[in-house]
C-alpha cells in the first residue's frame, strides 16, 4: 500500500512516499521512512494521520499520510491571552 510520511522544518519540508505491507502501522512507516536517522533532532512526541493525532500502533490504510509534528514553541492560548492583555492596556 502507498503511504506518505511528512515532516516540516521552518525552511525545509520532507515528503516521502513508501510502499508498505497491508498490515503496516504508523511506527512501521516511521521506521521505513528513515527520517529518524536522517534528521536526528526529530522529537516523536506527536504524530498523526491526515491531521489527527494517532498512536504509533495505529494501522494504516492505502494512501494515508503520516505526519510528524514539531513541538510548539509557544502555547497558542498564552499568545492570545498576552495579545488581549496588551490590547486592553492600550485602551
Domains and CATH numbers, the chain: 2-90 (3.10.20.30)
Higher-confidence residue: 83 or 56? 56
CB atoms within 10 A of CB 79: 12
Give me the pLDDT at residue 72, please: 67
Residue whose grid cell is 498490515:
23
In our burial notation (b when 16+ CB lie closer than 10 A, e otherwise), range 45-54 reads eebbbeeeeb
Q: List pLDDT tens digits, range 6-43.
A: 988 778 788 999 999 999 999 999 999 988 787 766 77
Q: What does residue 3 show for φ and ψ, rounded to 5 degrees?
A: -130, 140
Amino acid at each position: 500500500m502507498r503511504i506518505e510520511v511528512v515532516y516540516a522544518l521552518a525552511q525545509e519540508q520532507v515528503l516521502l512516499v513508501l510502499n508498505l505491507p497491508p498490515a503496516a502501522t504508523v511506527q512501521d512507516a516511521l521506521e521505513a521512512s528513515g527520517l529518524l536517522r536522517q534528521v536526528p533532532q526529530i522529537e516523536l512526541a506527536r504524530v498523526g494521520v491526515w491531521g489527527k493525532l494517532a498512536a504509533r500502533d495505529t494501522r494504516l490504510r492505502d494512501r494515508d499520510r503520516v505526519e510528524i509534528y514539531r513541538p510548539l514553541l509557544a502555547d497558542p492560548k498564552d499568545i492570545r491571552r498576552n495579545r488581549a492583555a496588551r490590547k486592553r492596556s492600550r485602551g
